[in-house]
Amino acid sequence: MGEATDCPSSKAVSPIALFLGFAVLYTVWGSTYLAIRIAVETIPPFLMAGIRFLTAGAILFIVARLRGAPMPPLKHWRTAVVTGALLLLIGNGGVVWAEQTVPSGLTALLITTTPLWLALFDWLRPGGARPPVATWLGLFAGFGGMILLAGVAKLPDNQSLNPFGVGVLIFASITWALGSLIAKYSDKPQSAIMGTALQMLMGGSLFVLASPLDARVYTFQPSKATWGSIAALLYLIIFGALLTMTVYNWLLHVAEPTLVSTHVFVNPVIAVILGWLLADEKLTSTTLLAGGIIVAAVAWIIMTQWLRKRTNVGPKSAAQLASTAAVSEE
């Protein structure tokens, strides 16, 4: 038998605990974009991500086993390879790689389009239902904001965004959505912590295997890594993976999934503010306009899907799918 639960009953949860839980989810996951940017300054991106997820995954695996979770069967490991590749290697890896050329705040805004892809792919899957008109309005608005941000936004000194980096981020958000759908509908461990651990272990292993594709790894010397990059990596392991995933899984058990998924449009706001305050990333009127359109579109989709759920009409929402993804692209 696996764990009975990963968290206490929702009836025993105080409003203060919920407030603190959401505060952690919003601020810490929002800060990981800046931490990634600092970490990859002197550590090769894929190697850094591999160390991050292998370390966090190993710790969570041990915790799950100590709490009574059984050893996962082979089918769960196979699923973890697929979801680890889509969610972590390509999804998170795209974010890690792109942040070498794209500011952390703009990266977070582009990744905010993930729920838009979720709504679309959940419709296209076998047995999926066509999104209502309200969802289509949000989809078109979100894509419009994404195009505005990718094609018009300017960096400091009037430099344009790296189009290849933007393309990688868009592709990363697509694979994250596909990985989330597979993670939701595939067979997985009863223990949410064990399921997260498997994804991190497999994703981290894939990162290490893929690290030779980055030329930086051949000239990398651990002694040359700055204390800032090392501190950022430790932050990503302890706070960006272990703490937030524990809080995330707990919130999924004690709060509405739709409410938990609000992190997808709060995190970018935190990322943009931190990039502006701590990394000298400029805020332009175009960036604010495009970001506002994207965030409003995602909020609109989540709100309309939540209303449909409350009235027991239509399929499960894209927001629920977003909340089942094992790891944020953060």
How does pLDDT run along the chain (330 residues), one tens digit per residue? Answer: 334 344 444 446 788 888 898 889 888 988 988 898 899 999 999 999 999 999 999 999 999 999 999 999 999 999 999 999 998 899 888 888 888 778 776 777 777 777 778 778 888 888 777 777 877 787 778 777 766 765 544 555 555 567 788 889 889 989 988 888 888 788 888 888 898 899 999 999 999 999 998 888 999 999 989 999 999 999 999 999 888 877 877 776 777 655 676 677 777 778 777 887 887 777 777 777 877 887 787 778 777 767 776 665 544 444 454 444 444 445
Number of domains present in the structure of the chain: 1
Taking each helix axis from N to C end, the angle separating 104-111 and 133-152, rounded to the nearest 10 degrees, works out to 160
Residue 219 CA: distances (Å) to CA of 91, 101, 130, 225, 284: 25, 20, 50, 12, 36
Question: What is the distance between the alpha carbons of residues 282 and 156, in angstroms, rounded to a whole number?
Answer: 6
Task: Judge whether 141 lies within some domain.
Answer: yes
The single-letter DSSP state of residue 190 is: S
Q: Is 140 helix (H, G, I), strand (E, B) or coil?
A: helix
Give residue-wise pLDDT tens across range 187-245: 888 888 898 899 999 999 999 999 998 888 999 999 989 999 999 999 999 999 888 87
Does residue 116 lie in a domain region?
A: yes
Q: Is 5 helix (H, G, I), strand (E, B) or coil?
A: coil
* 98 located within any domain: yes
291 neighbors 145 (Cβ within 8 angstroms) = yes
Domain that holds residue 120: 13-324
Residue 120 lies in a domain: yes
Rounded (5°) CA angle 25-29-32? 160
pLDDT at 182: 84
Which residues on neighbouring strands pair with residue 254, listed in sequence order? Answer: none
Q: Is residue 5 part of a domain?
A: no
In a domain, 169, yes or no: yes
| Within a domain: 222 | yes
Neighbouring C-beta atoms of residue 254, cutoff 10 Å: 17
pTM of the model: 0.74
Q: Is residue 166 part of a domain?
A: yes
